[in-house]
């Protein structure tokens, strides 16, 4: 029988760092309780069943979770593992407690969430836990920085993990501890480090490390974990129908060619953390989740996969959780259990239905590819005009100064937007702010709004993306020029 592993967030207890950064008493529940509805039918806030705002440092909580896992056929948990520069650890106590609580039957492994922790305005990439409650204190916005060090630091990291690897409950494949890396391509020394870890693992009685990369591979990786919809391009819109997400997840699984482990999700809504800038999978239901898991179970069986992942067990702040809530109670857990069992014994009608989902998913992808080709042609035309302008010694700075522009906003912070920012740096033209649909995810050194925000007055808004919402821009009575119009001034 296929073994289900769910992703496990250990941020449901107080730590001094979160109290300092986000306010006294901050835990994941803080964002969950503060969630708001942003449109009719928006399911927020999510309330745990019987208002069980638990503390993960309480042994009874983990015992309860282990009992639920057993009842609904969840084999294990993949704890997010946070390990930063100079061996700094955070949110490590739940896993360390589990290591001591040998009587709790909870198989587990680690997913190394190797991102820096930042505030929204930081100039580096990373994860921002809550952009809703931020004030802007002094500093660079970097809370915890990733730096992988050299051989000594790699050995220290392995030695910290070794006691966990040796635990009988730690999930192993062919005598290799399962270790998932969230962003393997961000680790410049991943190949050298993994060789060191493999050698140390063998010296300690293992057959190596079973490395898995999330949505990407690396030399030592035994498999890729296709983590729900991160790779299917569904974040073009802030609100996406959950049924469409399910179809794309199943399609991704069906067409995967390499050694790939699959991951379903019961939903997504990060508005408790991001507010109106959040992304939402709309209209999730237990029955749609059941169909998703049934199809993923069937495809996993075809591809001889031993494990199937779910994102997540308790990611309440992003609407990804299996734990019971006040509305659906245990329905998602039940849907998971039924889906995995039924997918393992799928009849001909179910197989044909799965095939139809995949064919529909492929058609959607072809359309997205066509849209992408159109977008590339748009950029090609812009770069051609840009080069012609340079031949005449025209730059964005000279064009804007000729138009008597003193301050500008950049709408669209993709390649062209970033190019304009770099070119205007150090000139008389002030870049007042940016506008982008992914405002909280972009690090520019200045504030980034969404088109739905109140926009400060500037001399001109430069529109660099063909997907701009011109209707909303006109309603704001902003003076704007598209990048094409700007280039035609030359």
* Distance linking the first and last C-alpha atoms of the chain: 66
265-308 residue pLDDT tens? 999 999 998 887 788 999 999 999 999 999 999 999 988 999 99
pLDDT score of 66 more than 70 = yes
pLDDT > 70 fraction of the chain, expressed in percent and rounded:
88
pLDDT band (50, 70, 90) for residue 236: very low
pLDDT band (50, 70, 90) for residue 49: very high
Q: Are both 3-346 and 392-488 of the same fold?
A: no
Q: For the chain, what are the domain ranges? A: 3-346, 392-488
What is the Cα–Cα distance from 454 to 259, expressed in whole angstroms? Answer: 47
Rounded to an integer, the average pLDDT of 116-136 is 54
Highest mean pLDDT among 33-37, 165-169, 212-216, 483-487: 165-169
CA distances from 190 to 203, 225, 441 (A): 20, 17, 25
pLDDT score of 305: 93
The domain defined by 392-488 carries CATH number 3.30.450.30: no
**Architecture of the domain made up of 3-346:** Alpha-Beta Barrel (3.20)
Rounded to an integer, the average pLDDT of 330-338 is 99
pLDDT score of 329: 99
pLDDT band (50, 70, 90) for residue 233: very low
pLDDT band (50, 70, 90) for residue 442: low
The answer for 445, left when phi > 0, alpha when psi is -120 to 50, beta otherwise, is: left
Residue 198's Cβ-side half-sphere holds a number of Cα atoms within 13 Å equal to 12
CA distances from 11 to 35, 53, 56, 263, 315 (A): 17, 12, 8, 22, 9
Contact 99, 162 (CB under 8 A): no
Count of other CB atoms within 10 angstroms of residue 378: 16
pLDDT > 90 fraction of the chain, expressed in percent and rounded:
59
pLDDT score of 419: 85
Reported residue count of the chain is 490
Residues 6 or more apart in contact with residue 248 via CB below 8 angstroms? 229, 232, 234, 361, 364
What is the Cα–Cα distance from 242 to 289, expressed in whole angstroms? Answer: 9
* Run of H or E including 313: none
pLDDT score of 132: 56
Rounded to an integer, the average pLDDT of 182-195 is 95
Residue 266's Cβ-side half-sphere holds a number of Cα atoms within 13 Å equal to 29
Rounded to an integer, the average pLDDT of 175-187 is 97
412-422 residue pLDDT tens? 988 888 888 88
pLDDT score of 453 more than 50 = yes
pLDDT score of 120: 46
pLDDT score of 121: 36
Which of 40-44, 106-110, 166-170 is the least confident region? 40-44
370-390 residue pLDDT tens? 766 777 777 777 767 767 766
Q: What is the average pLDDT score of the chain?
A: 88
């Amino acid at each position: 029988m296929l073994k289900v592993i769910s992703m496990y967030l250990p941020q449901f207890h107080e730590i001094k760092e979160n109290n300092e950064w986000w306010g006294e008493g901050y835990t994941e529940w803080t964002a969950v309780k503060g969630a708001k509805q942003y449109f009719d039918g928006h399911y927020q806030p999510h309330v745990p069943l019987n208002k069980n705002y638990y503390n993960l440092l309480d042994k009874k909580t983990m015992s309860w979770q282990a009992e639920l896992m057993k009842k609904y056929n969840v084999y294990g948990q993949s704890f997010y593992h946070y390990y930063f520069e100079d061996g700094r650890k955070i949110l490590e106590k739940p896993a360390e407690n589990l290591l001591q609580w040998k009587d709790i039957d909870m198989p587990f492994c680690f997913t190394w969430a190797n991102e820096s922790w930042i505030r929204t305005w930081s100039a580096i990439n990373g994860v921002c836990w809550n952009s809703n409650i931020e004030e802007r204190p002094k500093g660079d916005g970097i809370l915890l920085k990733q730096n992988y060090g050299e051989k000594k630091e790699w050995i220290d990291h392995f030695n910290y993990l070794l006691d966990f690897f040796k635990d009988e409950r730690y999930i192993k494949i062919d005598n290799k501890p399962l270790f998932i890396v969230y962003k393997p391509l961000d680790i410049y020394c991943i190949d050298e480090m993994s060789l060191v870890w493999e050698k140390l693992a063998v010296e300690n009685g293992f057959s190596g490390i079973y490395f898995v990369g999330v949505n990407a591979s690396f030399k030592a990786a035994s498999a890729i974990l296709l983590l729900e919809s991160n790779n299917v391009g569904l974040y073009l819109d802030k609100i996406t129908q959950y049924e469409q997400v399910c179809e794309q997840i199943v399609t991704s699984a069906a067409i995967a060619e390499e050694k790939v482990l699959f991951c379903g999700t019961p939903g997504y809504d990060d508005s408790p953390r991001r507010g109106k800038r959040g992304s939402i999978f709309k209209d999730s239901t237990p029955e749609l989740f059941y169909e998703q898991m049934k199809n993923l179970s069937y495809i996993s069986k075809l591809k001889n996969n031993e494990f199937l992942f779910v994102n997540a067990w308790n990611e309440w702040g992003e609407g990804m959780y299996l734990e019971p809530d006040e509305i659906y109670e245990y329905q998602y857990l039940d849907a998971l259990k039924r889906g995995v069992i039924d997918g393992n014994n799928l009849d001909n009608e179910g197989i044909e239905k799965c095939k139809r989902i995949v064919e529909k998913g492929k058609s959607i992808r072809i359309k997205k590819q066509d849209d992408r080709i159109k977008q590339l042609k748009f950029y090609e035309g812009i770069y051609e005009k840009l080069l012609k302008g340079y031949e005449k010694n025209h730059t964005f700075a000279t064009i804007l100064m000729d138009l008597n522009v003193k301050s500008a906003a950049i709408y669209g912070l993709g390649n062209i937007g970033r190019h304009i920012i770099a070119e205007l740096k150090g000139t008389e033209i002030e870049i007042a702010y940016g506008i982008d649909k992914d405002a909280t995810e972009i690090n520019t050194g200045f504030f980034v709004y969404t088109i739905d925000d109140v926009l400060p007055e500037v001399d001109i808004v430069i529109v660099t993306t063909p997907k701009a919402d011109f209707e909303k821009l006109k309603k704001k009575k902003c003076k704007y020029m598209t990048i094409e119009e700007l280039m035609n001034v030359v």
